Amino acid sequence: MQILAIGFATVILIGACLLKLPISSKNGISTPFIDCFFTSTSAVCVTGLVTVDTGTHWSYFGKTVIMFLIETGGLGFMSLAALMSLLLGKRITLRDRLIMQESMNSFTLQGIVRMAKYVLTFTFIVEGVCAGLLATQFVPKFGIVKGLYYSVFHSVSAFCNAGFDILGTPGNEYISLTQKGYYDNPIIILTIGFLIIAGGLGFSVWQEIYEERNIKNLSLHSKLVLTVTAILVFGGAFLMFIFEMKNPGTIKNMTPKGKVLSSIFASITPRTAGFNSISTADMTPAGRFLTIILMFIGGSPGSTAGGIKTATFGLLVITVVSVIRGREDAEIFKKRIGKDTVYKALSITLISLTLVIVVTMILSITEAGASLEYILYEATSAFGTVGLTLGLTTKLTVIGKVIISFTMYAGRVGPLTLACALASKTRKDSIKYPEDRILVG
């Protein structure tokens, strides 16, 4: 856990130094280090929050650096290190395998190298195919070279759930997919939406789907992840449509096709992606609050996404339902879930909630004048490595940028992993104290 935490921090610093170079900016002038550090953290932690517009501020060198940082952060530096070792014919040690197991959130050490190969192959195939689909729309608009580059960049950004876009133009920055021709384009919206879901499901789930090809034979983990993901995507899309259908600032004046696409996309993108096809600042309070909830839940374990994860959220709901039904253990799909897993889910949720609350309280002091809703939205977006904002990111103070950078880092590494990495080694006590009762509820 300590190696993972230090490894991500090292990659962030290297990226910040590269972005600090004059060649990285469009005007050839060195960018302030705090903005380079913030952007590098956002890219490695696949968040998408930016203090300068990616499309207009950075040169192609800077954009390429950001793209590689996104890929490294999304796949995990240990997966890429394993790829380099395999290409160079080096032996992968037991220590490397243990770190890879922790990085990929795998149940077992067995087959971890094969899993790494599968992750990399699957990633490059999906990103390549979807880049080809995006190219059918971007090449006619931007030309062959620029169109292909835009297709690859946004494919990588979407699959890694980063949310970085380079569609901004001078005088029209931070637009994401809100312009006509993007939000109502089914190929662009559905391709990017698929990439977000694909990257956020988790590589182990995709491996099981490929190998089993029968939903009945999937593991309990995969069944739970797919069930919760489907409920959040379609349930969120339905609620978003209801909340925003009469809002002229978002989808009221769109065509029926645009309304449906934007509602679905507004439900998918808070799952830690950060793209937006409607103005987040103009959403109704109900729509913004729903977005905060979806951002906090995030994607699935072992994926490119952040948040407390769908499996954690699903397990908490299952536990509550089991308690209400008078069951001794959490049960789903005729399987019992161990108490250790439930305790871990509760710990992750409580640590995550505490982090968001503390960050919100600190930002309410440092960012004078900003409303509590904007600050909570920003803090949750940073923790969930989402990248959506109501417009506060570009107005952050230096202290605010540092706080948000740390929150993105904690959200990507994982709050429980970070806490364990900073804590002393766990030791097993030989003493068990007598059991007693506490009144709750």
The predicted pLDDT at position 424 comes to: 47
The predicted pLDDT at position 376 comes to: 94
Give the distance, in angstroms, between the CA of residue 90 and the centroid of all CA atoms in the same chain: 32
Q: Is the CA virtual torsion 392, 398, 400, 405 positive or negative?
A: positive
How far apart CA 289 and CA 291 sit, in angstroms, is 5
Instruction: Flag whether 222 is in a domain.
Output: yes
> In angstroms, how far is the first alpha carbon of the chain from the final one?
35
Residues constituting the chain: 441
How far apart CA 158 and CA 46 sit, in angstroms, is 9
Residue among 205, 3, 227 nearest 118 (CA) = 205
Phi then psi for residue 330, to 5 deg, are -75, 130
Q: Is the pLDDT of residue 438 over 80?
A: no
Q: Look up the pTM and report it.
A: 0.84
Token pair of 371 as six digits:
């409303």
Q: Among the ranges 79-83, 87-91, 115-119, 198-202, which has the highest mean pLDDT value?
A: 198-202
Confidence of residue 147 (pLDDT cuts 50, 70, 90): very high
pLDDT tens for 307-335 read: 888 888 999 999 988 888 888 778 888 78
How far apart CA 408 and CA 426 sit, in angstroms, is 26
For tokens 């959403």, name the residue: 283
Q: Is the model more confident about 110 or about 16?
A: 16
The predicted pLDDT at position 378 comes to: 93
Q: Is the pLDDT of residue 87 over 80?
A: no
Phi then psi for residue 336, to 5 deg, are -100, 140
How far apart CA 430 and CA 18 sit, in angstroms, is 51
Count up the domains in the chain and report the number: 1
Confidence of residue 94 (pLDDT cuts 50, 70, 90): low
Instruction: Flag whether 38 is in a domain.
Output: yes
Which residue range forms the structural domain that includes residue 222?
Answer: 2-420
Q: Is the CA virtual torsion 142, 148, 149, 155 positive or negative?
A: positive
pLDDT tens for 252-285 read: 888 888 899 999 999 999 877 888 888 888 899 9
Q: Are 226 and 333 in contact (CB under 8 A)?
A: no
Beta bridge partners, 92, equal none
Q: Among the ranges 197-201, 403-407, 415-419, 437-441, which has the highest mean pLDDT value?
A: 403-407
The predicted pLDDT at position 327 comes to: 82
Token pair of 327 as six digits:
């069951």
* Span 114-125, average pLDDT: 77
Burial-class residue 255 by CB neighbours within 10 Å (0-12, 13-18, 19+): exposed
How far apart CA 265 and CA 184 sit, in angstroms, is 11
* Span 388-411, average pLDDT: 89
The predicted pLDDT at position 96 comes to: 62
From residue 274, how far is each of 32, 187, 302 by CA, in Å?
Answer: 24, 18, 19
Amino acid (one-letter) located at 366 = T
pLDDT tens for 300-314 read: 877 777 788 888 899
Confidence of residue 377 (pLDDT cuts 50, 70, 90): very high
Instruction: Flag whether 416 is in a domain.
Output: yes
Instruction: Flag whether 225 is in a domain.
Output: yes
Instruction: Flag whether 439 is in a domain.
Output: no
Instruction: Flag whether 251 is in a domain.
Output: yes
How far apart CA 65 and CA 42 sit, in angstroms, is 13
The average confidence (pLDDT) of the chain is 83
Instruction: Flag whether 6 is in a domain.
Output: yes
* Span 423-441, average pLDDT: 64
Residue among 279, 66, 293 nearest 162 (CA) = 66
Phi then psi for residue 331, to 5 deg, are -135, 140
The predicted pLDDT at position 206 comes to: 79
SS3 letters for the chain? CHHHHHHHHHHHHHHHHHHHCHHHECCCCCCCHHHHHHHHHHHHCCCCCCCCCHHHHECHHHHHHHHHHHHHHHHCHHHHHHHHHHHCCCCCCHHHHHHHHHHHCCCCCCCHHHHHHHHHHHHHHHHHHHHHHHHHHHHHHHCHHHHHHHHHHHHHHHHCCCCCCCCCECCECCCCCCCCCCCCCHHHHHHHHHHHHHHHHCHHHHHHHHHHCCHHHCCHHHHHHHHHHHHHHHHHHHHHHHHHCCCCCCCCCCCHHHHHHHHHHHHHCCCCCCCCCCCCCCCCHHHHHHHHHHHHHCCCCCCCCCCCCHHHHHHHHHHHHHHHCCCCCEEECCEEECHHHHHHHHHHHHHHHHHHHHHHHHHHHHCCCCCHHHHHHHHHHHHCCCCCCCCCHHHCCHHHHHHHHHHHHHHHHCHHHHHHHHCCCCCCCCCCCCCCCCCCC
Angle at the Cα of 420 from the Cα atoms of 329 and 398, rounded to 5 degrees: 120
Token pair of 138 as six digits:
């971007």
Token pair of 418 as six digits:
């970070």
